[in-house]
Structure 1
Amino acid sequence: MAPKVLVVLSSQGQIPGHDHQTGWFLPEFAHPWEVLHEKVELTIASPKGGEAPLDPASVKMFESDPVSTKFLNEQQSLWKNTQKLADFLPRVSEFDAIFYVGGHGPMFDLHYDETSLALIRAFAAADKIVSAVCHGPTVFIRATTKAGQPLLANATVTGFTNVEEDQAQLTALMPYLVEDEMNKIPGCKFVKADQPWGEKVVVSKTSDGAILITGQNPASATGVGKEILKALGL
């Protein structure tokens, strides 16, 4: 039987208080999907279920990326019919890994989502793989172990950097910055690529010993998919 991975997308389609569309970021789902879909069974969920909003800026930005455009044209059912995240709380034992797609959406919903935090806690406690890319690692900032410790305490981790957020010209619209928040967690070591937008994938352990896989930015999405496969023994 193929391993099972729960893929989580944001349900947030707009930046609160601003006329700025957001959502999940196209290459950060397309590239891991490309790596994973023939070898694992992928189930797609979001906080609200139904259609998970795709950030239109990511479509434009990656229109010359063949993996992203093929995924956009052929796999729309994946994000137009997501299952509700809450439905998976009693089903953690069915899965081997959880993966959070980035984009600015997770900064506003999944970062705070109690169902998501409970799922992360359950996956980590069961020694299952927890993973995310770009803004996706924001979901781990408030996450804790069953014992109540910060999940990222003493972990090495990456995510979208302050410099990248500045260069994307969206810092002013963000409620916080991923890099800043991770650096506040005791013992958490935030690392990044030598250059902004360079590939950086980090495999570490959560504070309760589960495998933690994080990627810095869109360029890291393929690498995250490959590390998930490796961690699954494939």
Structure 2
Amino acid sequence: MAPKVLVVLTSYGQIEGTDNKTGWYLPELAHPYDVLAPKTELVFASPKGGEAPLDQASVEMFKSDPSSVEFLKTKEALWKNTEKLSSFVGRSGEFAALFYPGGHGPMFDLATDKDSIALINEFVAAGKPVSAVCHGPAVFTNVVLPSGKHLVDGKEVTGFSNVEEDQAQMTKLMPFLLETKLGEVGGVYKKAAEPWGPLVLSVDGGKLITGQNPASAKGVGEAIAKAIGV
């Protein structure tokens, strides 16, 4: 039987007090999906369940990317019928790994979601990989282990950089800056030589996997596959 990977998408689709729509970012799911779907069973969750909002800006931005176009065209049911995240707490034994795609949405809901934090702790305690790409690593910023130590304390991590946020013209709309926050909670933040360049970090023998930006998404999928031996 193929190992299962739990994919957690944001439920946050509109930045409050603005006209800015947001959600999860298309290639950050499409590219890892291409890597993992032939080898694993992917299960989709979100805090509210039901439809997880897709950031339409990512659809436009990646309209020439075959992987994203194909995923958008053929896999709609996956993100429109997610299960409630809370229903997975206590079920880490069913899964080989946990994965969070990015988009700005996770900065607003998953970063502080109690069920998400509990689930990450559960996977870590079970010695199973936890992974995220771009803004996805926001989900690790409030994870404190039972020992009282922060999950990323002393570990090399990456995520959307402050420069990239500035270039995306989203800095003023964010509840916090991911690069800054990862450093504040003890993470050893790394980034690619150039903004938007790919960087994937796999530490603790593949137990903690982070990717910097959309260009890193396929590499995160490959790191997950390697970590779970498929």
Length-normalised TM-score, structure 1: 0.97
Correspondence for 1:217: 213
1:185 aligns with 2:185: yes
Is the Cα contact below 8 Å between 2:90 and 2:122 reproduced in 1? Answer: no
CA distance in 2, matches of 1:53, 1:61: 16
Count of residues paired in the alignment: 230
Correspondence for 1:142: 142
Correspondence for 1:40: 40
CA distance in 1, matches of 2:125, 2:16: 33
CA distance in 1, matches of 2:10, 2:56: 14
Give secondary structure in 2 for the equivalent of 1:32.
helix
> Could you report, residue by residue, the CA deviation over 1:86-133 in whole angstroms, capped at 9, with x for unpaired residues?
000021110110000100000000001000000000000110000000
Structure 1 residues not aligned, in runs of 5+: none
CA distance in 2, matches of 1:179, 1:7: 23
CA distance in 2, matches of 1:52, 1:182: 25
CA distance in 2, matches of 1:153, 1:230: 24
Correspondence for 2:103: 103
Correspondence for 1:73: 73
Structure 2 residues not aligned, in runs of 5+: none
Is the Cα contact below 8 Å between 1:201 and 1:224 reproduced in 2? Answer: yes
> Could you report, residue by residue, the CA deviation over 1:158-182 in whole angstroms, capped at 9, with x for unpaired residues?
0000000000001011111000001
Q: Please state how far the C-alpha of 1:210 moved relative to its aligned partner.
A: 7.2
1:228 aligns with 2:228: no
Alignment RMSD: 1.0
1:198 aligns with 2:197: yes
Which one-letter code corresponds to 1:223 in the other structure?
Answer: G
Is the Cα contact below 8 Å between 1:97 and 1:128 reproduced in 2? Answer: yes
Is the Cα contact below 8 Å between 1:127 and 1:210 reproduced in 2? Answer: no
Q: Please state how far the C-alpha of 1:146 moved relative to its aligned partner.
A: 2.1
Is the Cα contact below 8 Å between 2:136 and 2:159 reproduced in 1? Answer: yes
Which one-letter code corresponds to 2:197 in the other structure?
Answer: G
CA distance in 2, matches of 1:168, 1:210: 30
Which one-letter code corresponds to 1:68 in the other structure?
Answer: S
Is the Cα contact below 8 Å between 2:24 and 2:54 reproduced in 1? Answer: yes
CA distance in 1, matches of 2:154, 2:27: 29
Is the Cα contact below 8 Å between 1:48 and 1:84 reproduced in 2? Answer: yes
CA distance in 1, matches of 2:146, 2:79: 31
Is the Cα contact below 8 Å between 2:206 and 2:224 reproduced in 1? Answer: no
Is the Cα contact below 8 Å between 2:5 and 2:99 reproduced in 1? Answer: yes
Is the Cα contact below 8 Å between 1:44 and 1:79 reproduced in 2? Answer: yes
Alignment of 1:29-178 (within 5 A): 29-178=29-178
Q: Please state how far the C-alpha of 1:148 moved relative to its aligned partner.
A: 2.4
CA distance in 2, matches of 1:133, 1:67: 17
Give secondary structure in 1 for the equivalent of 2:131.
strand
Is the Cα contact below 8 Å between 2:45 and 2:82 reproduced in 1? Answer: yes
Give secondary structure in 1 for the equivalent of 2:91.
helix
